[in-house]
Amino acid sequence: MSAADLVISPLPLWAEALVGLLLLISGLLALISALGLHRLRSFFMRMHAPAITAALGVWAVAGASILYFSLRQGRLELQSWLIIILLAVTAPVTTVLLARAALFRQRTQEIASRASSKSSSGPGTI
């Protein structure tokens, strides 16, 4: 690692500051969405929290990666754009599937609990 550091020249200060700022923003966003996932009360509230990271956090990291490698190689390196596209396509699909599964499970649970309460507690009890 130290030998590689000697070979490659360091980036200008503004570029390193910009890359570091983008990385820090994504780290804070990840922390915010993890706190949301940890603290929010119901499942449908908790579904919102990871979307912050899947949208803006990934954009920030991919932007930092594009900026860093473009300046390092001296040409435009747009590979990380693929990750943005991949997550933009796949994250909503996962969200919709999970929401449908959660709604389905909630409904079947409600029906089951209603049937069991109706059968266990007779019509006279309140």
Partner 1 sequence: MSPLLSGAIIATLACYTLAMALAGLRLLRGPSAQDRVLALDFLYVLGMLLVLVLGIRYNSQMYFEVALLIGLFGFLGSAALAKFLLRGEVIE
Q: Which residues bind partner 1 (CB under 8 A)?
A: 1, 4-5, 8, 10-11, 13, 16-17, 19-21, 23-24, 26-28, 30-31, 33-35, 37-38, 43, 46-47, 49-50, 53-54, 57-58, 61-62, 64-65, 68-69, 72, 77, 79-80, 82-83, 86-87, 90-91, 93-94, 97-98, 100-102, 104-105
Contact indicator for 58, 83 with CB cutoff of 8 Å: yes
Nearer to partner 1, 55 or 125 (CB): 55
The phi and psi torsions of 45 (rounded to 5 degrees) equal -70, -40
Nearest distance from residue 126's CB to partner 1, in Å?
A: 28
Nearer to partner 1, 82 or 118 (CB): 82
Nearer to partner 1, 99 or 118 (CB): 99
Contact indicator for 99, 44 with CB cutoff of 8 Å: yes
Give the tokens for residue 76.
């435009």
Nearest distance from residue 76's CB to partner 1, in Å?
A: 14
Nearer to partner 1, 12 or 121 (CB): 12
Give the chain's end-to-end CA distance (angstroms, integer): 73
State how far the Cα of 3 lies from the Cα of 5, in Å rounded to an integer. Answer: 5
Nearest distance from residue 100's CB to partner 1, in Å?
A: 6
State how far the Cα of 54 lies from the Cα of 60, in Å rounded to an integer. Answer: 10
Contact indicator for 77, 70 with CB cutoff of 8 Å: yes
